[in-house]
Structure 1
Amino acid sequence: MTTAADLADRVLSGDLALHELEAHTDADTATKARRILLAQNADADVDVDLSTIGDFSFDAATAESAIENMVGAVQIPVGIAGPLTIDGGALPDGKTHYLPLATTEGALVASVNRGCSAIQAGGGANARVLQSMMTRAPVFCVRDVHEASAVVSWVRDNEDRLAAAAMETTNHGELTELTPYVVGDSVFLRFGYDTKDAMGMNMATIATQAACEVLESETAADLIALSGNLCTDKKPAAINAIEGRGRTVASDVVLTREQVKDRLKTTPEAIEEVNTRKNLIGSAKAGSLGFNAQAANVVAAAFLATGQDAAQVVEGANAITTIDVRDGDLYASVTIASLDVGTVGGGTKLPTQSEALDILGVRGGGDPPGTNADALAELIATGALAGELSLLGALASSNLASAHEQLGR
């Protein structure tokens, strides 16, 4: 019987490649072999102990669609913030929610939890998904601007053909938008899809490839890259802040002056001024695409807990926080322009992430399709709102540093 140590020796000798191990044994043994290899390959004066990385609770085969050359798993502490009551478009009426957050940033969950307390005192938040559209934008090369114009004209006259080709690749997605852009001899097409409960990046990529093949066969355009960065995926981009990507979602709440004083230890006017001078003026001066205090904190922690693509936190930071004093009360909102989330596929299938989605009641496909991912977006946006309220309140009351000191951070 071939052991993990034998396999590690074969990799070290060059007889096997790291990625070939699963072809010679089961996934768990292959994973163990890589840990042995790492320990043997370490410097003589370094004790490489991977026992904790290797101590995970699921079968390694479960993760094969999510990782390559697996050696184990990294455990991140998971806390919960809540309770939260949300009047959402996809969330069930009257249900109390607790938001799981995976983070190593001390005081984050406590901060969000304080914001949740303020929202609950105000009777709960409102939340709605305003748009759902996953994008992919290939770039083509043409001879000159005359040819670019001809390609764009062909696209506008044949959107049905391109949509039909794209939709032959999926039973779940739907092409909802197709916008051409020209820069000299480059033609970009920004495809937008309703991907239901999937985050949909892979679905959009495969569908767009099929549409590109039709375009190339019928026009003079040559496909240069299936992603031309006008999508825009995993990078700060004004087009996502303006046009949206994934879910565009908003959440808001009204708190009385008494509730602000009781829960946030300050006044509506003080929070409004901090938001104006920090989130609006400060962000504008910095040239920021996000006009918020810490939305990415909540997005990142929720993404890690629920199996989302962590790199798309970049887009999730495309959020604007607004604060107004209304007849002495506080109105607060957070609008996230490009929140890329799903409840099926990818990391959502992993056991611990599936459990986190179960906490929220949104694992798997929704009925009707798309409602579970919409509900997850509404929950994350409201969590971000709670985080904004708490941090703005701490800044307005000059309690930020003392809060971190109190929690030993």
Structure 2
Amino acid sequence: MTDADELAEQVRAGDLRLHELEDHADHDTAAEARRKLLESETDADLGTVGDYAFDAELAEPNIENMVGAAQIPMGVVGPVVVSGGSAEGDYYLPLATTEGALLASVNRGCSVISTAGGADARVTKNGMTRAPVFRVQGIVEAEEVVNWVRDHRDELVEAAEATTNHGKLEDVTTYVVGDSVFLRFVYDTKDAMGMNMATIATGEAASLVEEETPASLVALSGNLCTDKKPAAINAVEGRGRSVTADVRIPRETVENRLHTTPEAIEEANTRKNLVGSAKAGSLGFNAHAANTIAAAFLATGQDAAQVVEGSNAITTVEARDEELYASVSIASLEVGTVGGGTKLPTQTEALDVLGLRGGGDPPGSNADALAEIIAVGALAGELSLLAALASRHLSSAHEELGR
């Protein structure tokens, strides 16, 4: 009987718990033991799940009760020409997805963008947020808290920044609802996505607020952040990086490469992405920006749940005399090139393809560049899908690719 078999039997007998196996064996053996247990109890064959290409110990910060890896096909689009504030040049963008036709569509858009001379992209705002909620007795105490926060910003900065060598507290905004006071802290987290950094820093600042005011902390996250949920505050104020990419495509290129006209694409965008989204009460006024964002997140080790915020995007299209203008503005794109899933081997390789692994020089420039490239990829996807709809080629494209 192997060590993995023995560990599985101990779990089955109740002598060990699933999360304790790494205390008795190396990480790969612990994962194997969990697979054996699951296979014996469910009749599943986990041979493919267990056939992963990295040391399981490397994943310890990212997963508990590991059994293996969920392997998603990864492709690449591009190269696409990007002229950004931090990204400058030709880039291949790795995308991981199970949706057939997605990469083909985005790749078509990338090709059209490059033929037109490339896309411009800029990060227009940067700030990771955490918003604790405090309890007070009523509006009089709430006003006292608001005034204290306004008058003691330097002390809050000192408390928050004492927890990190990299993060900077940029702003604190107060919100009062009855006997609840919310403080929305905004941080520059450089090349990290920064959620953990912001949470730890805000915890220290919240303790200071409790010491100096009548407020009592109820929850370190009061949902005004807002993390991993559709929220108008993120669509308006942004979270992570707010980034816009745009392109001007000659009319001839639109007609020859996208097989439609600027006017037809503009009408499709207006009626679908603007009017249709408004009628639906959507926070995203785009065709499928989340498709490209999700695939890029999976490939490069971002927090996949934050695609929710990434879908807060507005696509605009204008038919001009001899060209088509198109843009996508993503209000809350939460990305990093250090920390979290970016340290996993597959994801570091994807970041290496982009030349953006690790911290940038200056700090924050790599994450800015990643945001700009993803935005251009999303713009490519928007253009391609809108053109397919305008030319009525969407269903035939999926049929041709066997999806």
Residue equivalent to 1:255: 249
1:250-309 deviations in Å (ceiling 9; x for gaps): 000001110001111000000000000000000000000000000000000000000000
For structure 2, the residue ranges without an aligned partner over 5 or more in a row are none
Residue equivalent to 2:4: 4
Residue equivalent to 1:109: 103
Residue equivalent to 2:397: 403
Letter of the 2:295 counterpart: A
Residues 1:175 and 2:169 aligned together: yes
Q: Distance in 2 between matches of 1:177 and 1:315?
A: 20
Letter of the 2:274 counterpart: L
Residue equivalent to 1:276: 270
Letter of the 2:7 counterpart: L
Offset of residue 351 of structure 1: 0.3
1:1-38 deviations in Å (ceiling 9; x for gaps): 97111001111111111111001111010000000110
Any residues of structure 2 matched to 1:328-367 within 5 Å, and which?
Answer: 328-367=322-361
Q: Distance in 1 between matches of 2:64 and 2:327?
A: 40
1:307-332 deviations in Å (ceiling 9; x for gaps): 00000000000000000112231000
1:322-364 deviations in Å (ceiling 9; x for gaps): 0011223100000000000000000000000000000000000
Residue equivalent to 1:49: 45
Offset of residue 91 of structure 1: 1.2
Any residues of structure 2 matched to 1:10-409 within 5 Å, and which?
Answer: 10-42=10-42, 47-92=43-88, 95-409=89-403
TM-score after normalising by structure 1: 0.98
TM-score after normalising by structure 2: 0.99
* 1:65 partner SS: helix
Runs of 4+ in 1 over 3 A off after TM superposition: none
Q: Distance in 2 between matches of 1:258 and 1:266?
A: 10
Q: Distance in 2 between matches of 1:276 and 1:20?
A: 56
Q: Distance in 1 between matches of 2:348 and 2:396?
A: 36
Give the number of equivalent residue pairs: 403
For structure 1, the residue ranges without an aligned partner over 5 or more in a row are none
Q: Distance in 2 between matches of 1:66 and 1:181?
A: 34
Letter of the 2:23 counterpart: A
* 1:80 partner SS: strand
Q: Distance in 1 between matches of 2:70 and 2:359?
A: 27
Q: Distance in 2 between matches of 1:310 and 1:299?
A: 9
* 1:68 partner SS: coil
